[in-house]
Amino acid sequence: MPPQPDPLRRFWRGALLSLPGALAFWWFIAVGYLGALLAPLVGWSLSLSVPHLVVELVPVGLDWTLITTLSPIDSPLDLLALQIPPVRFTASFALFWGLVLATPIPWGERGYQLLTGTAFVMMPLVVMMISLFALFRIGLYLNHTPIVGQMPPEQWYLGAPFPGWIYHLLGVGRQLSALVLPMVLPVLAWAAFNGEVINRVLLSRLRQRPETTA
């Protein structure tokens, strides 16, 4: 009987193949479909959180245009349209898919995790990330104060600014959604599905290491 390959090695070898593969699949095939699926969900999420500020979210190619109810101070019948780039957020799907495909588990289990993880875990999380990003952009136009390295526009708009503490929370939300969560959430989602594998393959090896060296 041939010896079983080390599961940790299998995982790293799988990750080397599956992560670039998942990225290529996301960029060349899935990115447009994901955008089309997510746009109505993000639009719905924004219309729930700030219904008085959002008209609609229109996908235009890979980017989205968020039409707000905000009017410039000198042309009150015009409406502010903001560009929202969903691509940087949907890259999280590729990371999740790559990790699941690299995990040493049966193929049926992988398929289950890919489907349920994409639909019921990653989708809501990515909708939340894009919504946080969009809310921050609206806040920047309303409050007109530099925050987290972002500068407000020159133009003023007709609308009450958010209270200071909410504006600062939006700043934190923007930093999390743009810089931290796209990398962290897919790993957490993958870990939530594969706690037992992580414990068996990764942590058990780490626990063994000091004994081996001694």
Partner 1 sequence: MRRLLPLLLLALLAGCGSEQATHTTALKRLLAGDYAGAAPLLTQLAEAGQPAAQFRLGILYLEGKGVAADPQRAATLLNQAAEAGEVGAAYLLAQALRTGGRLPADPQRARQLLEQLATRHYAPAEWELAKMLEKGEAGAADPAAALEHYRQAAQHGYRDAVLRLIQAYRNAELGLVQDTAEAQHWQESLRQRAF
The residues of the shown chain that bind partner 1, judged by CB under 8 A, are 47, 51-52, 55-56, 67, 69, 71, 73, 76-79, 143-146, 151-152, 154, 156, 158-161
Nearer to partner 1, 23 or 58 (CB): 58
**Minimum distance from CB of 208 to partner 1 (Å)?**
54
118 pairs with which residues across the strands?
A: none
**Minimum distance from CB of 149 to partner 1 (Å)?**
11
**Minimum distance from CB of 85 to partner 1 (Å)?**
22
Nearer to partner 1, 75 or 199 (CB): 75
What is the rounded distance in angstroms from the CA atom of residue 154 to the CA atom of residue 25?
40
**Minimum distance from CB of 145 to partner 1 (Å)?**
5
Nearer to partner 1, 112 or 156 (CB): 156
Nearer to partner 1, 69 or 175 (CB): 69
- Total Cβ atoms within 10 A of residue 53: 20
What is the rounded distance in angstroms from the CA atom of residue 112 to the CA atom of residue 176?
29
**Minimum distance from CB of 39 to partner 1 (Å)?**
16
Cα distances (angstroms) measured from residue 18 to each of 85, 118, 182, 204: 25, 16, 18, 24
Q: In what helix (H) or strand (E) does residue 210 lie, and over which residues does it extend?
A: helix 204-213
Query: By CB neighbour count within 10 A (0-12 exposed, 13-18 middle, 19+ buried), where does 209 fall?
Result: exposed
Residues, the chain: 214
Nearer to partner 1, 47 or 175 (CB): 47
What token pair was written down for 182?
A: 């796209």
